[in-house]
Structure 1
Amino acid sequence: METLLLDPADVTESASMAAVIDAVEGAFAADARGDTQMPAKSYIDLPQHDGDFRSMPAYIDAGDWEAAGVKWVNSHPGNPDRHDLPTVMGTMIYSDPATALPLALMDGTSLTRLRTGAAAAVATRYLAREDATSLGLVGAGIQSYSQLEAVAEVRPIERVVVADRDPDAIAALRERYAEAYDVREGSIDEAAACDVVSTTTPVREPIVTSVGEHTHVNAMGADAEGKHEIADSVLADAKLVIDDYDQCTHSGEINVPWSEGALDDGDIHAELAEVVAGEKAGREDGDGVTVFDSTGLAIQDVAAAHVVYERARETGVGTDFALVGTDT
């Protein structure tokens, strides 16, 4: 059997956001049952090139489907200026657990955007008010598009408030979604007062200092030590749900207040997998602010890759090639 090569357009064409959300939710449920394997993310640090590589492997037995894979991804901040290349590039190897055959080699950058949006949607499904109709976006980069599309799958979003320092980025987002939503520019405080807010910036000093009384926050931007979008006071007062204890305390939204002793185990309500599995409560009557701290997990990548691969095979998208030789 040949391996399927899927470029960015193929991945996007083969990914229904609703299907990816359901698969990522299934992956969290499998993780709570102990039906996943997810070794710690490993790093190769390359300071001489102002960058690093990260390896993210995982296996999932979701009950009605089974999958394995590894994402190889980098972060080279100097790439755009020095080499006319993206800062982050990812490649996903999606494999058959039964035979180890590499079923697909696919663009991991588009996949990452999809699964990150899907994770926020799963958290929103369990932690936001059922009648949430407004979404704040702090940051109008490409990830904000996935946040909007994903959150709108699980809540009836009508109004979108966008805050960003770049007016062109806001204008591009407004133009793209103007027919579907009431999209308007606003301050960070105005965006953070919405029913749901997703933050997708790389800042190292908190820029969200207050939120609405019942707002659900998807804190998506922090993915390294020192990054910090949400004020400590907001985090301390919220029902706080994380995606992974080790990753979040090391490099998630809570990493700075955690290292300073401002937050500890008593401030964490649950991991999202526990909420999805019903082991810990999601939003309850009387809850005020809820926060989801997302660092991104390899099981999310594998779940999204499963959706993309199965759909691509059904529709004939992609290019087959002989990656594995026939010699035994």
Structure 2
Amino acid sequence: MEILWLSEDDVRSVLTMEDAIPAVESAFAEHGLGNVQMPPKSYLYYEHGDLRTMPAYIKKLEATGVKIVNSHPGNPEIGLPSVMAVVILNSVETGAPLALMGGTYLTAMRTGAAGGIAAKHLARRDSSAVGIIGAGAQARTQIMALAKLFDLEAVRVMDRRKERARAFVSDVSGFLECECVPVSDARDACDCDILVTATPSRAPVVLSEWVRDGTHINAIGADAPGKQELDPRLLRRAKVVVDDLSQAVHSGEVNVPISRGEYRSDEIHAQLGEIVAGKIPGRENDMEITIFDSTGLAIQDIAVASLVYRRARELSIGTLLEFM
């Protein structure tokens, strides 16, 4: 028995945003229809970060497996990514491992795709200006996805490390066909149609009064208990959509306001999959503020990993390793 090893470079060679978006959107729809198995993430906590395991089964794809991923915000200071991951795909019929692949780039791409899908269903269709707070690796794939789905005219990016914001502008100039400029204040980034927050913050970086009616927000950074990027008053002004209710209440943007009695779980409008599947409406008028609370779902990883595995087999990419 052999197992296919796909390095990060192998994954990059076969995974595009054009492929990731429909794969992730289909996974959300299956989630909304109740056709997946996905236990909540499990966490191990350390002094400098955490480690998570994320299993899932998508019946429609006959795809199953688990992702193991860390979050160590201080890693860039020692030359490592904040997030690193591996994904194991297994046979549904026998349970045998089929592939082991680098999951760091995959994680960034599937999260970017999820943000694009959320904006597709929740942002105004004429949205053309994007604000970004937090110019790390995730910001890049968020704007990659949004650029595929919207006719963007301006991007404003803010990061507490100004050199990282400038580096982001230089990086995205290779594929972004619109003006992209760094700004020094988070309030300036909020002057937009679609706002992306992608920070490891444990206190609000966006105040309610900075956000105008009609804005859509992809709140990406809060993915563990205690993390928070948005003013709780903003949640009360908005239609809040989560990726998964149990995960969001435990570790999403809503987790801190709920724990403090500043917001209630029954105020959440829907899970994104329910909107994608057509069970619940998304945006209903141009004045609504909409928020997508993204915690990251294992079904996203397995859907994209399954796509990568099939493509790699077709192209004879990767290394077969003896397993048993």
Instruction: Please give the alpha-carbon distance, in whole angstroms, between the structure 2 residues aligned to 1:53 and 1:265.
Output: 26
SS in 2 for 1:125: helix
Unpaired segments ≥5 residues, structure 2: none
Match of 2:95 in 1: 100
> How many Å apart are 1:99 and its aligned residue?
3.1
Match of 1:140 in 2: 135
Instruction: Please give the alpha-carbon distance, in whole angstroms, between the structure 1 residues aligned to 2:74 and 2:19.
Output: 35
Contact 2:113 2:145 in 1 (8 A): yes
**Cα pair distance change 1:22/1:70, threshold 3 Å:** same
> How many Å apart are 1:197 and its aligned residue?
1.1
Contact 2:32 2:271 in 1 (8 A): no
Contact 1:193 1:215 in 2 (8 A): no
**Cα pair distance change 1:96/1:287, threshold 3 Å:** farther
* 1:176 aligned partner, one-letter code: D
* 1:109 aligned partner, one-letter code: T
Moved more, 132-141 or 258-267: 258-267
> How many Å apart are 1:286 and its aligned residue?
4.4
SS in 1 for 2:88: strand
Match of 2:186 in 1: 188
* 2:264 aligned partner, one-letter code: D
> How many Å apart are 1:317 and its aligned residue?
2.1
Match of 1:208 in 2: 206
Match of 1:67 in 2: 63
Match of 1:89 in 2: 84
Q: How does 1:304-323 map to 2 (within 5 A)?
A: 304-323=304-323
> How many Å apart are 1:44 and its aligned residue?
3.1
1:23 and 2:23 are equivalent in the alignment:
yes
Contact 1:45 1:51 in 2 (8 A): yes
**Cα pair distance change 1:312/1:212, threshold 3 Å:** farther
TM-score normalised by structure 1 residue count:
0.91
Unpaired segments ≥5 residues, structure 1: none
RMSD: 1.8
Deviations 1:119-169 (A, max 9, x none): 111111100111111111111111100111011122122211101122221
Deviations 1:13-66 (A, max 9, x none): 21121211111111111112221101121223445xx4433211000023xx32
Contact 2:132 2:158 in 1 (8 A): yes
Instruction: Please give the alpha-carbon distance, in whole angstroms, between the structure 1 residues aligned to 2:317 and 2:103.
Output: 16
Instruction: Please give the alpha-carbon distance, in whole angstroms, between the structure 2 residues aligned to 1:78 and 1:185.
Output: 23
Q: How does 1:1-328 map to 2 (within 5 A)?
A: 2-46=2-46, 50-62=48-60, 65-76=61-72, 85-178=80-173, 180-186=177-183, 187-209=185-207, 210-323=210-323, 325=324
**Cα pair distance change 1:276/1:115, threshold 3 Å:** same
Deviations 1:309-328 (A, max 9, x none): 122222222222222x1xxx
> How many Å apart are 1:190 and its aligned residue?
2.2
**Cα pair distance change 1:97/1:198, threshold 3 Å:** same
SS in 1 for 2:307: helix
Instruction: Please give the alpha-carbon distance, in whole angstroms, between the structure 2 residues aligned to 1:207 and 1:24.
Output: 28
**Cα pair distance change 1:262/1:118, threshold 3 Å:** same
TM-score normalised by structure 2 residue count:
0.92
Deviations 1:223-248 (A, max 9, x none): 12221111111111001101111211
Instruction: Please give the alpha-carbon distance, in whole angstroms, between the structure 1 residues aligned to 2:127 and 2:245.
Output: 28
Contact 1:4 1:104 in 2 (8 A): yes
* 1:219 aligned partner, one-letter code: A
Moved more, 213-222 or 27-36: 27-36
**Cα pair distance change 1:118/1:289, threshold 3 Å:** same
Deviations 1:159-181 (A, max 9, x none): 11101122221221111223522
Moved more, 83-92 or 22-31: 83-92
* 1:320 aligned partner, one-letter code: L
Identity of aligned residues (%): 47
